[in-house]
Homo-oligomer: A and B are copies of this chain.
């Protein structure tokens, strides 16, 4: 393609709307244009990148025997009502765009396709002989994000590959899950990306095991904890680790102490001259279920540690049926104002003990009576600990479970792991932290959706049982931007060769120079003819402008038909390293072919 015939417009200034480097660069280099909040047009250069990413994804999926299809974006509300997700997705979380058609029927714009594919499986799969089956698609998805941002990173319309597999048994699911782990690793490697597979939380999708694929980049919204031996990596939301060692408590005697103005842990430790590892801190959360039911939760955890709210969310979600709900609308530490509305008397905040009396709560309306008590595993081993006395300006010291305080029977891992923690698999390994951009996620769903939608099959024994499912996603448009976030410099984008919109760009420094034009035109024809995707900058612009644009757009190889022509050569500059080569005109095609093949292998 000739730049003179292309809608090629670059910007010199960073656009005000963009916050992170990749977003700025894609806008400046003319890859994308914003049409609405979180909604972008992919201009021809971007579309070439997205097609290359999609093709790599497609090839790796096809190689596993998965079959490509295309499911509707418009989805009837009925299917989501069957799975129980309609209210959560359209109202409570409001993540799904909903609309009403001219017959007054409710429909949603698919953020994901578990319901649709399960309905199709219900309709078509009768027998174990038809299993396993794995269908996937590459398609625009929609999410009405609360805060669309960072360009294609968190958009409201974005391209996903999503696949769904159906199995007769767990072993078959495990096999496909392992195939996907392998296929995903191939995809991201082939795209030229530095990535890490990490254990992940399954979130609203549900199911058992799940794993995320993270592109490592400073601007990543996710934090990953990993060990250098390569044996452990997890999203911080999911990560487990050994807690830092605790110093044995010096308070051998049980006692209630006046501890004035020690609402914060820091002040308390200073006042008592103790370590946070000696303290059991007790935090109140409010959970609201989708049927409106509210529960106050009391979490006890060792003083130096933080609660991982995703872990807490998951524990509370499991209890939803106990309270007549399906899902959680929110889990938060209630504000003092909210607390005053919900409790009969002011809570002794900062001085709460693990045995805080249930009668603080008015059992009226939608609020459950009593506290739902959780103890993080780290408090179990504590002896002679310090904790709140349930009275302002007073703490207890030298307390023990089973003596002064009953231990909650809900003992679970609620702790937020952090860099520096020791690894569970090998305490000599210390967790390190990196930031990442999630571009892939694979799930073992189990029977959550097949049970809800009644998608069953007849097994070898002749019984009718629910299909076992897996699901597997890749954020195609997000991946394309993540590649930029991982690879740019002050002059612009540095595309990996595999997903660059073009392999090479020929800059004719002076288009009034007949020789320069002739060599440029000939090379342009020759390179494209041998499959080297080449742009020709034949615009009436100064050489400096052309070089700047080529760097900004990030084409891997820039060919300049300039001064070296007199010795029968052209200059070839590698974008990533800025290394310059003088290459004989007749050898340019062969040399580039070799470099490109090497980069793609």
Contacts and interface: CB of A to CB of B under 8 A. Distances in A.
B133 A7 contact: yes
Contacts of A357: none
Contacts of A74: 35-36, 39, 97, 142, 156-157
A64 B9 CA distance: 21
Given A7-B130, A75-B35, A76-B36, A42 B65 contact: no
B73 A47 contact: no
Interface string A102-125: 110101010000001001100111
Given A41-B116, A41-B120, A102-B94, A50 B67 contact: no
A546 to B, nearest CB: 16
Interface of A is mostly: mixed
B157 A33 contact: no
Contact of A44 (B35, B69, B99, B130): B69
Contacts of A195: none
Contact of A101 (B68, B76, B103, B144): B144
Nearest to A133: B7
Contacts of A30: 124
A183 interface: no
Nearest to A76: B36
A67 B1 contact: yes
A139 to B, nearest CB: 8
Nearest to A5: B65
A364 interface: no
A44 B68 contact: yes
A157 B109 CA distance: 11
A98 interface: yes
B73 A73 contact: yes
Contact of A140 (B47, B124, B140): B140
Interface string A126-168: 0001100101010010101010000000001100000000000
A253 interface: no
B35 A76 contact: yes
A43 interface: yes
A72 interface: yes
Contact of A35 (B71, B133, B135): B71
A67 B35 contact: no
A107 B140 contact: no
A531 to B, nearest CB: 15
A495 to B, nearest CB: 18
Given A5-B65, A33-B123, A37-B103, 5 more contacts: A6-B133, A7-B125, A43-B120, A51-B68, A97-B101
